[in-house]
Structure 1
Amino acid sequence: MTNHQQSYGFKFKGDFQQRIASIHSIGKETQTSTHYQWDGLKRNETGKVVFQYTLAGEGAIRIDDTIILLKAQDAFLVPLPSDHCYYLPETSDAWSFVYITLYGDEAVRLLTGAINTYGHIFKLKRESRPIHYLFNLLDKLSSTGMSYGYELSRHAYTFLMELLQYIEHDQAQDTELPQAVAFIESHFDQDLALSDIVAISGLSTYYFTRLFNQTMGETPIKYLTKVRLNEALTLLQDHTLTIEDIAIRVGFNEANYFSKVFKKALDIPPSQYRNSRSFMPVNQLFLD
């Protein structure tokens, strides 16, 4: 059984829509049948990009050889055609979502660029501006409809700008990423694994690692290592502490591994750094 709550398609005249941006279809639905499946290499549409956002339940998408389960607040972007397939998995009773399919040279160019830079999968809060705009647009269509291609392109372009602003600037602040960074900086002296850091964010490991890398410019573990090494630089100025003492205090299990990591980052072992007069002691070191 499939429950189509809202679904709208458009066919307006005007080649300006193809040059910039327009909406091919938009809707909100709940799928309960495992027959629901869209294969990105078998669809007739070309030169379009699908955005779909999960409201409730669970769906799935295969992108190339990777399968990702989609839960509430998960969204995906996929171009048509491309090697993907989204569907209701057998493990799910229902999948509720909103979607919008955009086309137009400028829309496809911008969205393809976003996919190439940030990937296909995103997490957005229900109250985020792009999702809020989608629901407002659905409300407008159900009450007053749409009469002109110019109006349709305006809505397409506005949604496009809202989405790109969110992806490029707002998404890090819209997650628990700042709390994860604070957790690293206050617990670096403990035996932390990636799973410990991810747990603070409430995100999947895949999404958290990608978002952290995009926002911070490095992986969570590399950031953890930098925090530890900067603390070690301060402790190395205290000659009452042994290298082993310092290693333990900054979260390493033993001195040999700490020395190996330190030397790899600074091209000199910590004991030599401490005793050499060729190096001016610093409290923080910026590492690439």
Structure 2
Amino acid sequence: MEPGVYGFRTNDHSILTIDSIGWQTITSSEYRFAGDNRPDVGHVIFQYTLRGQGHLEFENQRFSLPKGTGFLVRIPSRHCYYYLDNGEPWEILWLNMRGDEANRIWGLAMEQGGPVFRMEASSPVIANLWTIFRQIAGAKMTDKYRLSVSAYEWMLTLLQSSRESGRELNSKSNSVLHQAKQLMKERYASPITLDMLAEQLRINKYYLCRLFQKAEHTSPLSYLRDRRIEAAIAMLRTTNLPIQEVGKRCGFESPSYFGKVFHAYMGLTPTAYREKKLEFPYDAIYYE
């Protein structure tokens, strides 16, 4: 393959699609883009360093962008990325996307990892980006719907990679997390508090909360509530136990609280869920 830049124009802004893609080597310090002074409003840009180094300023933070570093920004926002000529060219691979879905997924990626990503060139994110470049540069793919599928798959790959990166913990933390989750899966029917969990695991409860937030993006008690609702859904469909008994066996001491929480998850009462088998034909639902 040879370096190149390819752009696409369409009046259809209802779908996530690719505006442009490029593989370039930057040698001039005139290469500078500010996110609050561009015409391509509503776009999301990913750029990855193959060689050399660039820089990103994002909301009063400054990041170096050496080899193996990428960033994701949307327009408009308070950012600026640029090249400072230090004698070594900045070789980059980039993708410019547009559409409401691009902005929505950008928001999710930001929540999980921030604007800067560090990843190997062999990672699925970069490998998939090269695949898109080859499809466009070599196979001349121009259909807006195929471009949309490729862009969507790529953004979901980035989102998955960002989530998994956020879950990276050391072996001790992983062990604690596993024990806590196993404990809640086995004892969801029993009264469990955060203090009880921490005492059982012999750790600080605030540390436990940070572990869950980092690895699961939720709290320990929210994780426990998910397991209880999973058990209740299965029990409502596979037994004839009274609703109050189902709630009790799933760790809800108060029938009214059980009904309130169940409605928040399913949008209907436990009784209605049990009766509406045709509209809700699930014997089990899992919250992950």
Please state which band the TM-score falls in when normalised by the shorter chain. Answer: 0.5 to 0.7
Q: Which residue of 1 aligns with 2:18?
A: 23
Q: Which amino acid aligns with 2:31?
A: Y
> Match for 1:142 among 131, 137, 144?
137
Partner Cα separation in structure 2 for residue 73 and residue 23 of structure 1: 23
Percent of aligned positions that are identical: 30
Match of 1:7 in 2: 5
- In the alignment, does 2:77 pair up with 1:82? yes
**What's the offset of the Cα at 1:67?**
1.5
- Deviation for aligned residue 1:26: 0.7
Match of 2:161 in 1: 166
Q: 2:65, 2:87 → 1: CA distance?
A: 10
2:106 maps to which of 79, 103, 111: 111
Deviant stretches of 4+, over 6 Å: none
Q: In the alignment, is residue 285 of structure 1 matched against residue 213 of structure 2? A: no
Aligned residues: 185
Residues 1:132 and 2:130 aligned together: no
- RMSD (Å) for aligned C-alpha atoms: 2.9
SS at match of 1:137: helix
Alpha-carbon distance in 2 for matches of 1:98, 1:160 = 15
- Counterpart code for 2:113: Y
Describe the shift of the 1:78–1:147 C-alpha distance in structure 2 as closer, same or farther (beyond 3 A): closer
Structure 2 alignment gaps of length 5 or more: 176-194, 207-288
1:37 matched to 2:35: no
Aligned partner of 1:165: which letter? Answer: Q
C-alpha distance in 1, partners of 2:97/2:110?
Answer: 14
- Residue segments in structure 1 that go unaligned for 5+ positions in a row: 186-211, 217-265, 267-280
- Between the aligned partners of 1:159 and 1:77, the Cα distance in structure 2 is 13
Per-residue deviation, residues 62-99 of structure 1 (Å, max 9, x unmatched): 11222111111111111101111111124452111111
CA contact (8 A) 2:56 2:65 kept: yes
Q: CA deviation at 1:47?
A: 0.4
